Chain A
Amino acid sequence: MTEDPRATGGPDALQPSAEVSIAAGGHSVSAMSRVGRSLLAAARMETFLIVLLAFVVWWGVKLSPYFLTWSNFGFSIQAVIEISIMSLAMTPIIITGEIDLSVESMVGLSSCVLGWLWASGVPLEVCIPIVLAVGVLGGLFNGFFVVRWGLPSLVVTLATYALFRGLGHVVLGSTVVTDFPASFTNFGFGYVPGTNVPWTLFVFLFLAVVTVAIVHGTWIGRQVFAVGKNKEAARYSGVRVGALKMALFAVSGLVAALAGILLTSRTSAATPDAGLNFTLAVVTIVVLGGVDINGGKGTVPGVILAVLILGTLKSALTEAGISTDYQNVAIGLLLIISVVTPQLARLVRELVDRTRLGRRRPAHDPAPGEVVR
């Protein structure tokens, strides 16, 4: 990690190294250094996250001796299981340069559909596939407007954010369905018999492994990054950008519906308000995990680390007697700090360079993201 002297320069290393590669005149040199640089950037982000996680765990252990136990770990993940799996589905969407704000409303809608079907006597084995299908349909609906009409996903999913939540209210009215069978609710907050491992942890682990494998090990993942870096170039290289985005939105809807089922199971209540404010937490996790909100950069392991940070942080804050209202502040601060810190380092370095060594850098030092575009 340290062989390359430029690597220690942080995001700023872009500037000098770009000059070096131009001076060298070799295309391969610049390509090599670019790959190396992005790997280093990813490694640095994950190092930062691991340090952060260690700090949170240390704080938690100080608060309670039982903090670092498997049962507490399982409990911490269980408490954030819905946003955890939604973050996994959101990651490739943000890497392609899109966003899905509607996920929290899909959680509400799926909870309502589940409650309504169950209340009208449909057996759960039939309800659950229907609810998942609703999720896929909702995702395809988003994808249709983004792909077919070329509309910004920010606006489309803002619209469906209202639309899906509204449909939930229409389906269920103001009633709350609670008479779910124990076999169903046990899954949400039950444990594997004889262990401290909650069932939902398996759901997260399974989806995490699948997401890592697909995003970092298959052609689908390579296409996701290609589209995020340069949509036109990806299209000319034969990537079916529209189909890819359609699929990603469908998966996002599917996972949000699954999250709705899990939440309904965990709280044993189907309500139109299910999942309120989840989108904030999901986007926070993905950005905290080092995914560039403008697309093209990020790793799933980073997002998984961010999930663990959020889970343990919430658990520690609860341990410290801090209510959920304030916990949201901590999450918001974490988000801002995680994106401001690297920039603060850049500002300080710029200042030092200017005062001590004179103007060594070009006057218009573009931000790292601007170089790519």
Chain B
Amino acid sequence: MALSAPANVRAPSRVGTLIGRAARSREVTLAAVVVVLSMFVWFEAPNFLSSTNLISVTALTAIIVIAAVGEALVIITKNIDLSVESTMGLVAFVVAEMLKGQNIPLPAAWALGIGLGLALGMANGVVITIFRVPSIVATLGTLSIYRGLTYWVANGQEITTSDLPNGYTDPASQTIFGVPLFVILAIAVVIVAALILRYTVFGRQVYAVGSNAEAAATIGVGARSTVFLVFALAGMLAGVAGVLWGIEFGQLYASSASGESLAVIAAVVVGGVSISGGSGTVVGAAIGALFLGLINNALTVLNLPQEWLQVIYGAVILLAVVTDALVQMRTQRAKARSRMR
């Protein structure tokens, strides 16, 4: 293994640039689709661009974007986190429960919620890296365990806005220079994550572990510590998403955020992050989330039957991965051709 490693060193960089080019085109094409679709929806239903609709569509999308950034990090390392919806639900409920019972300041409750998300992500990381349980099995387990904890905390109760301190849901409708607060937060998360992935050692390690864990180990990149960190970060971001979920809805059930794992993973996959690891960007994942959020809203403002939403989600995921496969086939063919010359 140690002998074959030097021969492999060049290959990933060449493949890396090719994949990078393909991924970049994915972000550009997807962004173009988003723009065209928005214009079409605006043309058909002018109230699409009304500020109330924009704030409501962007708030939920921003939450999914933040969770999707964490999920993208995980998937780039060739893992998966199915428990993200339960982390969001548990954090949202616990924050509300703390505010309902005790008289603690809002920011403290939010910080505790994010800390809880971090702890849940670290628990995933421990099971996956120390006990070497495949991430799909580990997070399938914590998907139901974290949800069960929420039922335990809820104890058959739900939390309504009247239980919560005044101003709890205010940040959801706040804007800065006309831009919703949630959107600014989501953009900040995406930019920071993108910079970390691109310019830090840790970022390189994330891609290295995802594209070839063994090769990464031979050049001194510890797959386990990187994967642990990535799950901790994903948990923390799911915690942020959970806090925002509580602020956005104000009314919380033990089953809050159920089914959102699908939306988050779909956003990441549609955004061009390969489930086989090692390629994709958080910007792509964010645009993927925006695209799916736009489809969701388009059905509403165009008065189309909401039943089709999941059908469209499924079709869009399939379309995205088939496109990826086509692009990959073409680059491989091109590579084979250039090698012949």
Seen from chain A, the residues whose Cβ lies within 8 Å of a Cβ on chain B are 99, 145, 149-152, 154-156, 158-167, 169-170, 173, 280, 283-284, 287, 293-294, 325-326, 328-329, 331-333, 335-336, 339-340, 343-344, 347, 364, 367
Contacts and interface: CB of A to CB of B under 8 A. Distances in A.
Contacts of A332: 140-145, 148
B95 interface: no
Contacts of A160: 314, 318
A164 B317 CA distance: 13
Contacts of A167: 311
B104 interface: no
Given A293-B134, A325-B151, A159 B317 contact: yes
Contacts of A340: 127, 131, 133
Contacts of B149: 329
Nearest to B144: A332
B314 A344 contact: no
A293 B127 contact: no
Contacts of A329: 144-145, 147-149, 151-152
14 contacts: A145-B322, A158-B266, A159-B321, A161-B262, A162-B262, A162-B310, A166-B307, A166-B309, A173-B307, A280-B144, A287-B137, A336-B127, A343-B133, A344-B131
Given A173-B307, A287-B137, A325 B318 contact: no
B202 interface: no
A154 B265 CA distance: 11
Nearest to B154: A325
Contact of B141 (A335, A344, A367): A335
A335 B140 contact: yes
B269 A155 contact: yes
Given A154-B80, A169-B310, A335 B317 contact: no
Interface in B245-277: 254, 262, 265-266, 269, 275-276
Nearest to B317: A159
Interface in B300-316: 305, 307-315
A41 B130 CA distance: 21
B132 interface: yes
Nearest to B307: A169
Contacts of A344: 131
B184 interface: no
